[in-house]
Amino acid sequence: MFRIDGEQKVCEVGGVKFGGQPGEYPCVCVSSIFQKGDKVFSGKRKEGFDEKRAEELLKNQERLSVETGVPGMADIVANTGAEFERYIDFVAEKSTMPFCIDAWVMKPKLAGAKYCAEKGLMDRMFYNSLTVWEQDLETEVKEIADIGVKHVLLVAFDQEDQMPSGRISGTQKMLDAIDKVGAEFESIFVDTSVMNGPAAAFCGVANRMIKEKWGFPVSSAPSNGSYMDLKRFRELLGFNGWAATDAALEGLSAFYYHDMIFSGPMAGAERIIPAVAEAEGLPGDRGFRRNQRAAESARPPAL
């Protein structure tokens, strides 16, 4: 049911593989750290962060990945190049996970990418992200190619066409910019932009279309949808009720044509990673092939 015709690309960032046919590799959970509101900050960002708390978050996600088989990555969020330097150094020292650099505007992203190049971290880092709404997209593509970025995420959306087809046209726009500049990247993967909870279904449909057309690994951020409803659902259902809807949305997305999900704050990894593990183990084409591989690896050697 899930198999896709045509060659499917596999990406590898920091030793973690994703992509290929659905079920070939587990869906990767990319959790945010140092984002706005992260409890590692007890005061203003410039006052520093709680290193013990941040290390606990990183180690906990690594533990969950080992226990469930669902790979984790860190989404490092920063507002300036100086912040990126502090946060990248910390994550690289305290964790073995791959990570991405995530900022809303180009300047700090470029500074973060350049710092990773200086530190020899390019195999472990991916650039989050090239966006279809960037006004100077070609300049950004050229800059990151010149820096030596190897792995890049494209965030695809079309304001005029918010159906799955708009994610295809958005992807094409960014590929055209990459071609025009003459840039080459070792890995390209696509995020199909969750704008609210129900839009996660559009992303699943768009992800299949992208895999059929180009074979790229695909992703989205279902957490954007669930956290958009946080206040309303907490008032209706309490925190535990909202957390259940969050875990359900993340697990469903992981199962439905996602090679990677951006799963929200790392503090939520204890509910998200097990939910994704359950979804990945469901029967059907995905679960059957993964369980078959696990059974084969567990067989004793032939006498």
6 CB neighbour count, 10 Å cutoff = 9
Q: Is the pLDDT of residue 299 over 60?
A: no
Q: What is the pLDDT of residue 301?
A: 42
Q: What is the pLDDT of residue 300?
A: 40
Of residues 151, 273, 270, 156, the one with CA closest to residue 205? 156
How far is Cα 208 from Cα 6, in angstroms, rounded to an integer? 12
Of residues 142, 168, 139, the one with CA closest to residue 154? 168
Whether the bond between 129 and the residue before it is cis, its omega within 30 degrees of 0, is: yes
CB 254 within 8 A of CB 279: yes
Confidence of residue 150 (pLDDT cuts 50, 70, 90): very high
Q: Is the pLDDT of residue 1 over 70?
A: no
Q: What is the pLDDT of residue 291?
A: 44
Round the average pLDDT of the chain to a whole number and report it.
91
Residue 131 has phi, psi (to 5 degrees) of -120, 150
Q: What is the pLDDT of residue 239?
A: 87
Q: What is the pLDDT of residue 197?
A: 83
**pLDDT tens digits, 178-222:** 999 999 999 999 999 988 888 889 999 999 999 999 999 999 999
Of residues 283, 295, 265, 293, the one with CA closest to residue 61? 265
Model pTM greater than 0.75? Answer: yes
**pLDDT tens digits, 225-239:** 888 877 888 888 898
CB 22 within 8 A of CB 257: yes
CB 91 within 8 A of CB 33: yes
Q: Is the pLDDT of residue 154 over 60?
A: yes
Across the range 161-168, mean pLDDT stands at 93
Residue 155 has phi, psi (to 5 degrees) of -100, 115
Residue 296, classified by CB atoms within 10 Å of its CB into exposed (0-12), middle (13-18) or buried (19+), is exposed
Q: What is the pLDDT of residue 232?
A: 85
What dotted CATH number matches 24-284?
A: 3.20.20.20
**pLDDT tens digits, 265-287:** 999 999 999 999 999 887 554 55
**pLDDT tens digits, 103-127:** 999 999 999 999 999 999 999 999 9
Q: What is the pLDDT of residue 295?
A: 37
CB 115 within 8 A of CB 90: no
Which residues touch 51 (CB under 8 Å, ≥6 apart)? Answer: 90
Q: What is the pLDDT of residue 226?
A: 85
